[in-house]
């Protein structure tokens, strides 16, 4: 209700705030109408620093941690691009949590995970499908992305599974029918 523009406009109108009058009738739906009167009004004001200091500290800590995680992902990505072995990188750094996702489909139900059905985050799935197809003699495609929870993921795309599209005669007939309809519509 408070996201309704008509309600917000009426709530802060001069008549309601300054003149202490009832609001105009606002139609919320076919069955619901709203009229309100101001009981009290506190003008907007800045909160004292003491009341928001911990929130600010927490946001700054989160921002610093996100930056550190992103920088770490970029460093790992650069090491992989320089030819360093992935398994060695994982062994060298105890702070890395590496999992092999296996086949990632466009939707989760098509995933074929190697690590006990680890769910693939949407950000990773999106990044994978935006990556270029790896070229066999140049090695895997590499990328990194940041997740909604602040984690970073380094993605090593080793191959793309291409499914053959079965020939469907009904599809051909549908295309021919649509072509005839288009030609007929344009000839008139």
Residue ranges of the chain with pLDDT lower than 70? 1-2, 113-117, 164-170, 187-188
Q: DSSP letters along 14-28, please?
A: HHHHTT-PPPPPEE-
Q: What angle do CA 110, 112, 114 make, to 5 degrees?
A: 160
How much is the pLDDT for 165?
A: 61
- Helix (H) / strand (E) containing 127: helix 122-130
Q: Is 115 exposed, middle or buried (0-12, 13-18, 19+ CB in 10 A)?
A: exposed
Q: What angle do CA 135, 87, 144 make, to 5 degrees?
A: 55
Residues 155 and 136: their CA atoms lie apart, in Å, by 17
Residues 31 and 29: their CA atoms lie apart, in Å, by 5
How much is the pLDDT for 63?
A: 93
Report in angstroms the alpha-carbon separations of 119 from 87, 113, 138, 157, 159: 22, 8, 29, 17, 19
Which stretches of 12-103 are DSSP H helices? 14-17, 49-81, 86-92
Residue owning tokens 């989160």:
62
The first and second tokens of residue 155, run together, are 């993605």
How much is the pLDDT for 68?
A: 92
pTM flag (> 0.75): no
Does residue 42 contact residue 58 with C-beta atoms inside 8 Å?
no
Report in angstroms the alpha-carbon separations of 186 from 8, 172, 181: 50, 21, 9
Residues 70 and 144: their CA atoms lie apart, in Å, by 9
């Amino acid at each position: 209700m408070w996201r309704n523009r008509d309600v917000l406009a009426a709530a802060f109108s001069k008549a309601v705030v300054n003149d202490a009058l009832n609001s105009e009738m606002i139609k919320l739906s076919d069955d619901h109408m709203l009229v309100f009167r101001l009981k009290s009004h506190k003008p907007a004001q800045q909160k004292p620093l003491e009341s928001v200091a911990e929130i600010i500290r927490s946001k700054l800590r989160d921002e610093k941690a996100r930056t550190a995680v992103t920088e770490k992902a970029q460093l790992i990505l650069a090491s992989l691009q320089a030819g360093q072995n992935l398994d060695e990188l994982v062994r060298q750094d105890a702070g890395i949590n590496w999992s092999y996702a296996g086949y990632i489909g466009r939707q989760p139900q098509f995933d074929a995970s190697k690590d006990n059905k680890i769910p693939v985050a949407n950000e990773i799935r999106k990044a994978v499908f935006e990556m270029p197809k790896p070229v066999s003699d140049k090695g895997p495609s590499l990328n990194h992305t940041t997740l909604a929870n602040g984690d970073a993921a380094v993605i090593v795309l080793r191959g793309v599974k291409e499914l053959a599209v079965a020939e469907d005669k009904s599809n051909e007939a549908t295309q021919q029918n649509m072509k005839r309809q288009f030609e007929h519509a344009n000839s008139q």
